[in-house]
Amino acid sequence: MHESLLAGLGHIRIGDGPSGAPPGFSIGGSTGSGPPIWICGDCHVGNLGPLAHSDGRVEIQIRDLDQTVIGNPTHDIVRLGLSLASAARGSDLPGVTTARILEQIIEGYAGAMKLGRSERRMQMNESED
C-alpha cells in the first residue's frame, strides 16, 4: 500500500520550487531547503489534537513536541501529508479526496510563508520610521 502511495506522490519533491511555488517545495525538482524554523520533527495525524478556547473556537494543533528541532518545514509538511494520505486510503475515501487533502496542505503552507513575508516587511517598515 505505501509503495503505491509514494509512487503517486513521486513528483512532489522537497526543494527549491519554480517561481510562485512555496519555498522548499518543487514539482519534479531537486532537493533543496526551506527556511530554517522550529519544526515538530514528527508531524503526523496521531500527533495532532484539538485545542478549545474559552470563546468556543476549536483549533487543531501539534500535541507532541519531543522531537522539535530547527529545520526545514517541508519535512513536517511531507510527513503530515503522507500520514493524512495513508489515513484517507485506509478509510476508503476516493483518490480525489486524498489529492484535495494534499493540495490544501501545500496551499496552507504557501499561505503561511506569504503571511510570514508580509509580517516581516511590516516590521521592517515600522523599524525604519
Coil, helix or strand at residue 91: coil
What is the rounded distance in angstroms from the CA atom of residue 78 to the CA atom of residue 129? Answer: 40
Of 40, 102, 104, nearest to 72 (Cα)? 40
What is the rounded distance in angstroms from the CA atom of residue 112 to the CA atom of residue 99? Answer: 20
Per-residue model confidence (pLDDT) at position 111: 83
Write the pLDDT tens digit of every residue in 67-87.
999 988 888 888 999 999 999
Residues of the chain above pLDDT 70, percent: 66
* Helix residue spans in the chain (DSSP H): 2-8, 73-90, 95-128
What is the rounded distance in angstroms from the CA atom of residue 13 to the CA atom of residue 8? Answer: 12
The structural domains of the chain, with segments of one domain joined by +, span 33-128
Write the pLDDT tens digit of every residue in 95-126.
999 999 999 988 888 888 777 766 766 766 77
Q: Which residue has the higher pLDDT, 61 or 32?
A: 61
The answer to whether 22 and 58 have CB atoms below 8 angstroms apart is no
How many degrees, rounded to 5, is the angle at CA 48 between CA 100 and CA 28?
A: 40
Q: Is the pTM of this model over 0.75?
A: no
Coil, helix or strand at residue 16: coil
The answer to whether 27 and 21 have CB atoms below 8 angstroms apart is yes
Q: Which residue has the higher pLDDT, 5 or 66?
A: 66
